[in-house]
Amino acid sequence: MRYWLGGLSALAFLAQPSVAVTLYGKANVAFQQADEAGDRELELQSNSSRIGLMGDNAIAEDVLVIYRFEYETSVDDGDKDGQTLTQRNIYLGLQTNYGTLMGGVYDSPLKTSASKVDLFNDMEGDIRNIFAGENRSKNVIQYVSPKSWGPLTAKAAYVTKETDGIDGWSTSLAYDQGAFYVAAAMDSNIEENVTGQKTWRLVGAYTLGPVMLGGAWEKYEQQENEGNGYFASAQWNITDKWVFKTQYGESDIKIEGRESFSIGGDYKFDKRTRTFVYYTRNQDDVIRDDDYLGVGMELKF
């Protein structure tokens, strides 16, 4: 009897009016040969695979309460920094005709400014190898301009360090219209356990038919240390199924003489599923040279 009662209770709960919920995620796994500082091995690599819930609830005309709970999970061995799940973008906010205001854990405006041109994002060729500023900040309050601004998007984030240093901020302004995309962004004291940090970034992209050319420049300062770098990328949509892409960058922001080169191709089965091959070389003048050759698959839902 208790099983019947439990089932009826669950059905009664599901029948109640509820907040809209969307389940989404991405599984990205590659089988690669990694040659890191001369140590060569074959490995299965999970590339920022994730699962999340997001949705909204209307509380007035043109006013939505929005939320997201997104977590990364390692499809290869189930271990992400000693845990099964780790936080990614998580927030609660308000969306109105005047823009969106949210609080939680979220990618900084400077980080998201280059997402369009970082063609090997979340993989061995990610621009985090050469650039600073790829931050997902905790205790952040962020504003995003409304869609009524058309091709312009402004973002501003304030990061409360609470008991751990000086509060920080990040801003960006992007123009995305037709074939053109340009963005400018700046961070100040946004990195954890770092003071006196400033980062500037300029991003641009141009699409001509099936070809997109992109690039970014960055300058980084942290007290007495400073550096700058750049990268360029190109993508050719050969057909609606086949994509060729490549990316190269160098900087002295993280380490002297740092370079990153990637080349690869995608085959799209549909809008959600693709398979890919890639080669990446990350090298510098000080520590090591790393090479990666792999093949993988990605499913989005």
Please check the confidence at residue 6 and state whether its pLDDT lies above 70: no
Per-residue pLDDT at 280? 98
Per-residue pLDDT at 161? 80
Please check the confidence at residue 218 and state whether its pLDDT lies above 50: yes
Within a 10 A sphere around the Cβ of 44, how many other Cβ atoms? 14
Fold of 20-32+43-300: Porin (2.40.160)
Name the β-bridge partners of 93: 66, 102
Report the amino acid identity of residue 104. G
Per-residue pLDDT at 18? 66
Per-residue pLDDT at 286? 84
Report, as an integer, the average pLDDT of 100-121.
97
- Please state, in angstroms and rounded to a whole number, the distance separating the CA atoms of residues 135 and 191: 7
Report, as an integer, the average pLDDT of 98-104.
98
Please check the confidence at residue 164 and state whether its pLDDT lies above 70: no
Q: Would you say how long the chain is, in residues?
A: 301
Per-residue pLDDT at 223? 82
- For residue 133, what are its two tokens? 């500023």
Q: How far is CA 214 from CA 218, 223, 276, in A?
A: 14, 30, 20
- Please state, in angstroms and rounded to a whole number, the distance separating the CA atoms of residues 246 and 279: 9
How does the average pLDDT of the chain come out, rounded? Answer: 91
Selected residue with higher pLDDT from 8 and 195: 195
> Phi and psi for 179 in degrees, rounded to 5?
-85, -10
Q: Assign 36 to helix, strand or coil.
A: strand
Percent with pLDDT over 90 in the chain: 79
Per-residue pLDDT at 245? 98
What is the DSSP code string of 131-176?
-S---EEEEEEEEE--GGGTTEEEEEEEE--TTSS--EEEEEEEEE
Q: Which of 200, 25, 233 is nearest to 125 (CA)?
A: 233
Dump pLDDT digits (tens) for 39-81.
899 999 999 999 999 999 999 999 999 999 999 999 888 777 7
Percent with pLDDT over 70 in the chain: 93
pLDDT category at 11 given cuts 50, 70, 90 is very low
Q: Which of 99, 102, 205 is nearest to 153 (CA)?
A: 99
Indicate the domain borders of the chain. Answer: 20-32+43-300
Dump pLDDT digits (tens) for 254-273.
888 999 999 999 999 999 99
